[in-house]
Amino acid sequence: MSATLQAMGLVPVRHFTGGTIRVENRGDGIASGYATSLFTGTPVKNQTDGTLIATGVAAADPCIGVFQGCEFSSAGKRWVIPYWPGGQTYDAGTMIAKFTADPTIVYEGQSKGSIAMASIGDGINLGDASQGSTFTGFSSQGLAAASTGATAATFRIIDKASYPDNAWGDAFTKLLVVIQAYQGQTA
């Protein structure tokens, strides 16, 4: 029974069509000095300048995929880390952002509330803004406490995660979702 909230952001678990989950690399993919920390498992979207920013908690906020870490040099020192430290600056031309960018990837995430089996096919949004551990680099974001029904949402529920201690209606149901408000890769 999922009685404990241990959200881990969104974790890519499989490809909906049986393909391979691939991680994209985008040069200068995060603006130098971007103030929001991004953690492995944080949903991201394209900014108008082509850089990545955190997907918001607003209903149907567009999403391109999930952040998977980054590389950059700062003052000549190379960093390869599983999160983006908010406010970090880097040497020009050294940044590589890693993220998934495929609308057919299935992600696992934990809701911040009880989700019933009748919610399969319903939309669901993020339950909180980007957050996580600077020690591990992993996200601690969760999905919302309730589905949106047929209303537009960032993600769509396709099933519950298959664990012996995870059942529909648990206090914090672990779900399998796909991106519903897919932004598409434009940069």
Query: What's the confidence (pLDDT) of residue 186?
Result: 47
Query: What's the confidence (pLDDT) of residue 2?
Result: 66
DSSP SS3 for 119: helix
Which residues, other chains included, contact 6 with Cβ-Cβ below 8 Å and sequence gap of 6+? Answer: 110, 172
Query: What's the confidence (pLDDT) of residue 1?
Result: 52
Query: What's the confidence (pLDDT) of residue 184?
Result: 74
**Torsion on CA atoms 147, 56, 109, 20, rounded to nearest 10:** 120
Counting Cβ atoms within 10 Å, is residue 21 exposed (0-12), middle (13-18) or buried (19+)?
middle
**This prediction's pTM:** 0.93
Kindly state the tokens that stand for 1. 């029974």
Query: What's the confidence (pLDDT) of residue 36?
Result: 97
Which residues, other chains included, contact 155 with Cβ-Cβ below 8 Å and sequence gap of 6+? Answer: 63, 107, 109, 123, 124, 125, 143, 177, 178, 179, 180, 181
Q: Among 144, 106, 126, which Cα is nearest to 20's?
A: 106
Query: What's the confidence (pLDDT) of residue 183?
Result: 86
Query: What's the confidence (pLDDT) of residue 38?
Result: 98
pLDDT in tens, the chain (187 residues): 567 888 899 999 999 888 899 999 999 999 999 999 999 999 999 999 999 999 998 888 999 999 999 999 999 999 999 999 999 999 999 999 999 999 999 999 999 999 999 999 999 999 999 999 999 999 999 999 999 988 889 999 999 999 999 999 999 999 999 999 998 754 4
As a whole number of Å, the end-to-end CA separation of the chain is 42
HSE-up of residue 108 (Cα within 13 Å, Cβ side): 15
Query: What's the confidence (pLDDT) of residue 25?
Result: 97
Element (H, E) at 68: strand 65-74
Counting Cβ atoms within 10 Å, is residue 66 exposed (0-12), middle (13-18) or buried (19+)?
buried
Kindly state the tokens that stand for 184. 């598409």
Query: What's the confidence (pLDDT) of residue 187?
Result: 43
